[in-house]
Amino acid sequence: MSQKMRIVVAGCGGISQAWFKAACGRSDVEIVGLVDLRRDAAEKRAADFNLPNAAIGTKMKEIVTETRPDVLFNCTIPEAHASVTLEALKCGCHVLCEKPLADTMANARKMVTAARRAGKVLAVMQNRRFDLNIRRARAFIESGVIGKVTTVQSNFFIGAHFGGFRDRMEHVLLLDMAIHTFDAARLITGADPVSVLCHEWNPEGSWYDHDASAVAIFEMTGGIVYTYQGSWCAEGHSTPWEAQWRVIGTKGTMLWNGAAVFSAQVATPNGTAFYDARDVPVPEYPACAQSGGHGGLICDFLDCLKTGRTPETVATDNIRSLAMVHGTIASAKQGRRIRIAFKED
């Protein structure tokens, strides 16, 4: 790898700003190309981030052939993640791809296999893992204070009037948002999905073309039952983007409001039917490389390329979170419980 890591960014829409901000703040990387089907979007980002020497174009293969990058940042829409990533891997790039890894499990498996065959790193922007609050939740659960986790609930309710591709997208909540919450459930519990039963619907008055609300019951490894409720079409009393959580263990319960508010209680027998519930502290998590959302994950990914360490959101692992998404979609479509599989091709 050349001294400065050479990066091409494909997809220069809304979220790409966070990627440029993180990459342009580092002295060891150079953005050598910007690609977007809308040339003006790529030109705008080049101007925003003062990149007068970067190549700009609408065809990724041309820009990648011209600039020979080490890394491709894939910030395109979900339907384009597979084609753009497969092309970049073929051209010898490591790829960091926006969530969700792919629009279908078949595409995700193709991407994982292609990365393995090319000997390149493929990881996913699961930025909420790099939030200190979720690290705090994970560390507390791992400490065992509330015992072995048995039951998890998360609630996500936001009225989101995005416009753009999401208004037209099928399974918009499950595919474009619930991937974050499902991945968070895996991180908090340390468990993987086994099966799911899901109901998906589009509430009356919805501004989405397709279903924007869902409830799902997952069976996870270790016998954990995880219940998800979510909507992108719920006005008033919004939850945080990180959702609100209740985690029940064999000794007690942790509540996390999705932001910085935590509380936990453990039970002590007192000779009655209802044990004493004692408050216990949920220790703060120290600031570290794992903090900072997009910026934290991008820095961690680039450091992994330098050191050979495997990124936490490597596609071979992240495909398990994606399998939860596609499991819910299959279950909602078929009206039955689905076993969740995530093996590569």
Q: Which residues bind ligand NAD (CB under 6 A)?
A: 10-16, 35-38, 41, 60, 75-78, 80, 84, 98-99, 125, 127, 164-165, 176
In the complex, least distance from residue 23 CB atom to ligand NAD, rounded to whole angstroms? 15
In the complex, least distance from residue 130 CB atom to ligand NAD, rounded to whole angstroms? 10
Q: CB nearer to ligand NAD: give 35 or 264.
A: 35
Number of other residues whose CB lies within 10 A of the CB of residue 206: 16
Q: CB nearer to ligand NAD: give 136 or 166.
A: 166
Q: CB nearer to ligand NAD: give 165 or 275.
A: 165
In the complex, least distance from residue 80 CB atom to ligand NAD, rounded to whole angstroms? 4
Cβ-Cβ contacts under 8 Å for 24 (sequence gap 6 or more): 31, 49, 51
289-294's contacts with Cβ under 8 Å and 24+ in sequence apart are 290/129, 290/130, 290/132, 290/135, 291/130, 291/131, 291/132, 291/135, 292/130, 293/18, 293/127, 293/128, 293/130, 293/131, 294/15, 294/18, 294/19, 294/21, 294/22, 294/125, 294/127, 294/130
Number of other residues whose CB lies within 10 A of the CB of residue 122: 27
In the complex, least distance from residue 187 CB atom to ligand NAD, rounded to whole angstroms? 15
Q: CB nearer to ligand NAD: give 62 or 284.
A: 62
Question: Which phi and psi (to 5°) does residue 61 adopt?
Answer: -60, -40
In the complex, least distance from residue 158 CB atom to ligand NAD, rounded to whole angstroms? 13
Q: CB nearer to ligand NAD: give 38 or 336.
A: 38
